[in-house]
């Protein structure tokens, strides 16, 4: 079902006490100040998943995501984490295809398609990220790049599996740079993504998929971004590390 979502990607930041304080502050401020029905997802580093899960327990709007998983079910992959491990501890979501994974860890569409399969097979909800670089945008390739990432990474799924995916459009040039896509730029790509989904799976399913925008979302631009018809919330990096700022972003959702 299409939901409004604020997801905080903490990346490789925070100590454990800082992570616990952040999660606990956001939970309490949201509880006191927000009456909407948005879902909130924290994506802490792996070592803090259990503690953050504990802090959100009993707070129905909150879920916890991993930032990555391995494409195999188990085995001799030192340092890696499987989907089944995440599920066994109560994690419900996993970010896949983030541009930092694509850029620094060589994750391509083929690998991401496998990770997506593993994630869904284990019963986790993927937050699948796509987005163009600045050079690709300036060359006029924005829509094409997003189309190829979506088609190669996710369109092999059948309709039932695809219906469980959350998408995130994250223009790479806007991630961590302070440059945000204008609401119109973001809406153009979101509407295009939804039209691709409609072409592949039909209008009804396209209308059910949550498509988040990511790229320097802050309290002061969230309302105008989230007000766009095809933007269903945000995947937030830097601003999700500050409890007050992230709570204000949550409050920008209906």
Dist. CA 69–CA 102, nearest whole Å: 14
Least distance in angstroms from the C-beta of 158 to ligand PEP: 28
Q: Is 98 a catalytic residue?
A: yes
* Residues paired with residue 129 on neighbouring β-strands, in sequence order: 168
Least distance in angstroms from the C-beta of 216 to ligand PEP: 4
Q: Which of 34, 93, 85, 38 is nearest to 63 (CA)?
A: 93
**Which residue among 170, 190, 245, 248 is the active-site one?**
170
Least distance in angstroms from the C-beta of 131 to ligand PEP: 9
153/206 with CB nearer ligand PEP? 153
Secondary structure percentages of the chain, helix, strand, coil, to 5: 50, 15, 35
Hey, how many other C-beta atoms are within 10 angstroms of the C-beta on 1? 6
157/174 with CB nearer ligand PEP? 174
Sign of CA dihedral 85, 91, 92, 94: negative
Q: Is 25 a catalytic residue?
A: no
206/221 with CB nearer ligand PEP? 221
Least distance in angstroms from the C-beta of 247 to ligand PEP: 15
Binding-site ranges for ligand PEP (CB under 6 A) = 9, 170, 175-176, 214-217, 235-239
**Which residue among 93, 98, 190, 245 is the active-site one?**
98
44/214 with CB nearer ligand PEP? 214
Question: In a 3-state reduction of DSSP, which class is residue 69?
Answer: coil
Least distance in angstroms from the C-beta of 204 to ligand PEP: 29
Q: Which of 90, 163, 158 is nearest to 128 (CA)?
A: 163
Query: 190 and 231 in contact (C-beta within 8 Å)?
Result: yes
User: For residue 43, what are the CA distances in angstroms to 34, 172, 196?
Assistant: 21, 19, 28
Q: Report the residue closest to ligand PEP, judged by CB.
A: 237
122/241 with CB nearer ligand PEP? 241
Following DSSP, what letter does each residue of 87-150 receive, concatenated? HHHT--EEEES-HHHHHHS---HHHHHHHHHHHHHTTPEEEEEE---HHHHHTT-HHHHHHHHH
Task: Give the residue numbers marked as catalytic.
Answer: 98, 170
């Amino acid at each position: 079902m299409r939901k409004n979502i604020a997801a905080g990607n903490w990346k490789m930041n925070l100590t454990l006490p800082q992570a616990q304080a952040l999660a606990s502050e956001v939970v309490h401020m949201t509880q006191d100040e927000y009456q909407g029905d948005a879902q909130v997802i924290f994506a802490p580093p792996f070592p803090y998943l259990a503690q953050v899960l504990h802090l959100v327990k009993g707070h129905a709007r909150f879920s916890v995501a991993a930032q990555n998983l391995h494409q195999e079910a188990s085995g001799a992959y030192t340092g890696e984490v499987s989907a089944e491990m995440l599920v066994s501890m109560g994690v419900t979501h996993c970010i896949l295809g983030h541009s930092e994974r694509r850029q620094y860890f060589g994750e391509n569409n083929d690998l991401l398609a496998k990770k997506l399969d593993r994630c869904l097979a284990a019963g986790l909800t993927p937050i699948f990220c796509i987005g163009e670089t600045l050079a690709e945008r300036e060359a006029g390739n924005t829509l094409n790049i997003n189309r190829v990432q979506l088609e190669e990474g996710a369109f092999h799924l059948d309709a039932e599996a695809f219906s469980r995916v959350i998408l995130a459009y994250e223009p790479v040039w806007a991630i961590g740079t302070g440059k945000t896509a204008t609401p119109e730029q973001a809406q153009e790509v979101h509407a295009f993504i939804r039209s691709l989904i409609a072409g592949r799976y039909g209008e009804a399913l396209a209308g059910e998929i949550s498509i988040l925008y990511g790229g320097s979302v802050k309290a002061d631009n969230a309302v105008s971004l989230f007000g766009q018809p095809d933007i269903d919330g945000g995947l937030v990096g830097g601003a999700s590390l500050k409890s007050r700022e992230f709570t204000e972003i949550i409050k920008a959702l209906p």
